[in-house]
């Protein structure tokens, strides 16, 4: 019987190393995705649906035109806490003499871009794929967005503090479904 030469045993060694590396990679990718999915709720902790103060009533002129406000919250990443930083934005508006405030999420329901207010045309426009919405968030056809802008629950306290229930909704679907 002939023994393999040094070249053959070196090739065998490299083949084994390659096989181990490929096996490790094949295991690492799904594990990494699973770990990310597992940590995602932790990453979003601090963003749970809750009423958050966003403005004073006096900061929302009663002219029916939406004004944009940031939603501020302490955010908790998997292991790190971030104090008071913007986690989203809303448009608030109210009619003449009214204390009632309407709130719309500034996140486009089509694919999550930030919706701009087009003051000149009295409408909302999304710069990503041109979805257009009326000032009360209604959809303007034809539109890539499958639904109207997402209305958010809003309440006004006795001292005029405006609070919005901040929620994220699934993008690209016709129904307004809260993102878990
Ligand atoms: S993300 Fe707004 S139109 Fe596509």
Nearest CA, atom 3, ligand 1: 129
CB 91 within 8 A of CB 68: yes
β-partners of residue 82 are: 75
CB 26 within 8 A of CB 42: no
Of 17-21, 37-41, 49-53, the poorest mean pLDDT is in 37-41
Task: Report if residue 76 sits inside a domain.
Answer: yes
Nearest CA, atom 1, ligand 1: 111
Residues 140 and 57 occupy one common structural domain:
yes
Residues 38 and 58 occupy one common structural domain:
no
What does the mean pLDDT of the chain come to?
83
Instruction: Please report the pLDDT score of residue 103 as a whole number.
Output: 98
Averaged pLDDT, 115-135:
97
CB 57 within 8 A of CB 102: no
* Confidence check: pLDDT of 31 > 70: no
Task: Report if residue 94 sits inside a domain.
Answer: yes
* Confidence check: pLDDT of 8 > 70: no
How many A from CA of 125 to the centre of ligand 1? Answer: 9
How many A from CA of 169 to the centre of ligand 1? Answer: 14
Residue 129 alpha carbon, nearest atom of ligand 1 = 3
Residues 68 and 139 occupy one common structural domain:
yes
* Confidence check: pLDDT of 73 > 80: yes
Residues 92 and 25 occupy one common structural domain:
no
Name residue, tokens 């770990």. Answer: 35
Domain count, the chain: 2
Q: What is the DSSP string of 113-154?
A: PBPEEETTTTEEE-TTT--EE-TTS-EESS-S-SS---EE-E
Question: What letter would DSSP give residue 58?
Answer: G
Q: Using a 6 Å CB cutoff, which residues line ligand 1?
A: 108, 110-111, 113, 126, 128-129, 131, 144-145
CB 174 within 8 A of CB 148: no
Residue 145 alpha carbon, nearest atom of ligand 1 = 3
Instruction: Please report the pLDDT score of residue 43 as a whole number.
Output: 45
Residues 1 and 66 occupy one common structural domain:
no
Share of the chain above pLDDT 90, in %: 63
Pocket test for ligand 1, best of 104, 110, 172 (most atoms within 8 A of CB): 110
Task: For residue 90, give the CATH number of its domain.
Answer: 2.102.10.10
Instruction: Please report the pLDDT score of residue 35 as a whole number.
Output: 40
Read off the pLDDT band of 11 (50, 70, 90).
Answer: low
Domain, as residue range, for 145: 50-166
How many A from CA of 120 to the centre of ligand 1? Answer: 20
Residue 126 alpha carbon, nearest atom of ligand 1 = 2
Residues 14 and 90 occupy one common structural domain:
no
Averaged pLDDT, 70-80:
79
Give the Cα separation of 152 and 46 in Å (integer).
Answer: 18
* Confidence check: pLDDT of 60 > 50: yes
Between 69 and 25, whose confidence is greater? 69
* Confidence check: pLDDT of 1 > 50: no
* Confidence check: pLDDT of 44 > 90: no
Instruction: Please report the pLDDT score of residue 83 as a whole number.
Output: 74
Measure the CA angle with vertex 103, ends 100 and 107; round to 5°.
175
């Amino acid at each position: 019987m002939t023994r393999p030469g040094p070249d053959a045993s070196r090739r065998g060694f490299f083949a084994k190393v390659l096989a181990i590396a490929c096996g490790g990679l094949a295991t690492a990718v799904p594990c990494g995705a699973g770990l990310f999915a597992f940590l995602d709720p932790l990453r979003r902790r601090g963003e749970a649906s809750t009423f958050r103060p966003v403005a004073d009533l006096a900061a929302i002129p009663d002219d029916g035109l939406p004004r944009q406000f940031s939603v501020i919250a302490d955010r908790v990443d998997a292991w790190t806490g971030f104090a008071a930083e913007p986690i989203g934005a809303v448009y608030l508006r109210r009619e003449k003499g009214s204390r009632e405030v309407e709130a719309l999420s500034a996140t486009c329901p089509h694919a999550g871009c930030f919706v701009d207010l087009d003051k000149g045309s009295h409408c909302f426009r999304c710069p990503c794929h041109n979805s257009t919405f009326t000032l009360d968030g209604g959809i303007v056809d034809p539109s890539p967005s499958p639904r109207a802008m997402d209305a958010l629950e809003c309440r006004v306290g006795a001292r005029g503090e405006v609070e919005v229930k901040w929620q994220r909704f699934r993008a690209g679907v016709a129904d307004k479904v809260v993102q878990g």
